[in-house]
Amino acid sequence: MSKEKKPQAEADDITPVPSATKQVPDAVMYVGPDIKWPFPVSKGTVFHSGLPAILKSTASKDPDLAALFVQMKDAGKALRELKDKAGALVKHAKAIARQNVERRK
């Protein structure tokens, strides 16, 4: 059985992959504790096109939850604040953690 050699792709045939570091204007990251309500979200989840409607609605009524959705350009700073347990985000994260416990009861 002979193997046919496939021609190499021409440079014009290659579609460039967007840079992983390219900032998407509406992209936000959730930096708080994992939640199951109103929609399951884990720490570090990135929403590239803004928040889904259910999260946007809930966050508009809950300032603690809203504060934990940060612009991608601010995500590193926010994660450091939480790791160092310094800054306003710590208060919001603790409030969401308390809500998680209350919802499990």
pLDDT band at 17 (very low <50, low <70, confident <90, very high): very low
Give the pLDDT score at 23.
Answer: 58
pLDDT reading at 97 higher than 70: yes
Q: Which of 46, 104, 93, 95 is nearest to 70 (CA)?
A: 46
For residues 89 and 66, what is the distance between their CA atoms, to the nearest angstrom? Answer: 10
Q: Mean of the per-residue pLDDT values for the chain?
A: 83
Q: Which of 2, 58, 48 is nearest to 27 (CA)?
A: 48
Give the pLDDT score at 67.
Answer: 96
pLDDT reading at 96 higher than 70: yes
- The gap from C-alpha 18 to its chain's centroid, in whole angstroms, comes to 18
pLDDT band at 76 (very low <50, low <70, confident <90, very high): very high
